[in-house]
Amino acid sequence: MSIRLSDIEVLPRREREKLLRREEMLAAARTIFAQKGYRETTLEDVAELAEFGKGTLYNYFPNKDALFSSVLEETILGFKTIFDTVLVSDLPFNEKLRLLIEESLRCAFSNPEGIMLMTREAQHLRDNNPLMQIKQELVRMLAVTIAAEQKSNPTMFQADADQLALILMNMVMGQFMNRLHLRIFNDALDTDSGGIPCSQITTEMINALTDPEYLEADVQNATDLVYSLYFYGIVGTP
C-alpha cells in the first residue's frame, strides 16, 4: 500500500526521505516486473527507472526476491486493511458487503501491476503465491460474516458460508480481468494478432488504467454489477 503524505509529515526529514525513496523504488519495480516478468527483470532495470544507483537499491533490498516480495506485500496489505475495517463495521449486512465489494475493486483497479504480478508469476511463486494465501484468509473472514447473517436471518440463503464467500471473492477478482480486456486487450484487438499478450503491456497502458477519469467510473460500474448479481442473480430484482 502506497505511503500517504499525512503518514510521514510528522517524521524527521531523514526518515521522510528514506521512506519516499523506498516508495519510488517500489513504484519502479512494480512497473518493470509487470512489463518484463520476474525472470527477465534485473535490479539494474529497476535502478535505472527509479533513477537511483544499483548500490542505493541494494541498501533497501538485498536481492530481487526481497524486492519482489515487497512489491506484492503492498497489494496484499491493501486488501487486508479493507477487510479488517469493513467487516467489523456496524453497517447492515447488504451495505457492508457492497462497501467491501467497492473498496476491494478500487484497490485492485488502482494497483493493476500488483494483481497482474501475482497472477502472471504463479509458476514462479507456486505454493508461496501470496495472492492465494491472502485470498484464503479473506474468504475465511468473509465466511464468518456471512454465517453470522445466516444465523440471525432465517430468510437468507442457507448455503455453505465458505462457498458463498469464495463465490463473491471470485466475482470481484473476475472484474479485474474483465477490466483488462475492456481497457487494454479489446482496444488492441486486430485480425492478425488477436490482441496483445501481457508481456507487451506498456507503462502508458498501465497509466491509462489508473487514470482517474476512468478509474472511479469503472469501480462504480463493476460494484453495481457484482452486487446485483451476487444478491439478486440475473433474473431477480432489487
| Full set of structural domains in the chain with CATH | 5-232 (1.10.357.10)
Mean pLDDT lowest among 1-5, 48-52, 70-74, 212-216 = 1-5
Question: pTM for the complete prediction?
Answer: 0.78
Q: Is the pLDDT of residue 22 over 80?
A: yes
Q: What is the mean pLDDT of residues 169-175?
A: 92
11 or 212, which is more confident? 212
Q: What is the mean pLDDT of residues 223-237?
A: 88
Calpha distance 217→219 (Å, rounded): 5
Tell me the pLDDT band of 8, cut-offs 50, 70 and 90: very low
Q: Is the pLDDT of residue 6 over 70?
A: no
Quick one: CA dihedral 97, 102, 103, 105, positive or negative?
positive
Per residue in 176-206, pLDDT (tens digit) is 888 887 777 655 444 344 444 555 566 677 7
Q: Across all residues in the chain, what is the average pLDDT?
A: 82
Share of the chain above pLDDT 70, in %: 80
With a cut of 60, say whether residue 151 has pLDDT above it. Answer: yes
Which of 29-43, 123-137, 143-157, 189-203 is predicted most confidently? 143-157
pLDDT classification of 46: cutoffs 50, 70, 90: very high
Average pLDDT over residues 141-166: 95
> Mean per-residue pLDDT for 128-146?
82
* pLDDT of the residue at 5: 43
- Better pLDDT: 96 or 112: 96
Q: Which residue has the cell 463465490?
A: 167
pLDDT category, 210, cuts 50, 70, 90?
Answer: confident
Instruction: State the pLDDT at residue 33.
Output: 85
* Residue 222 near residue 110, CB atoms below 8 Å: no
Task: Give residue 129's pLDDT.
Answer: 59
pLDDT of residue 136 exceeding 60 = yes
Is residue 166 over pLDDT 80? yes
Which segment of 67-71, 124-128, 129-133, 197-201 scores lowest on mean pLDDT?
197-201
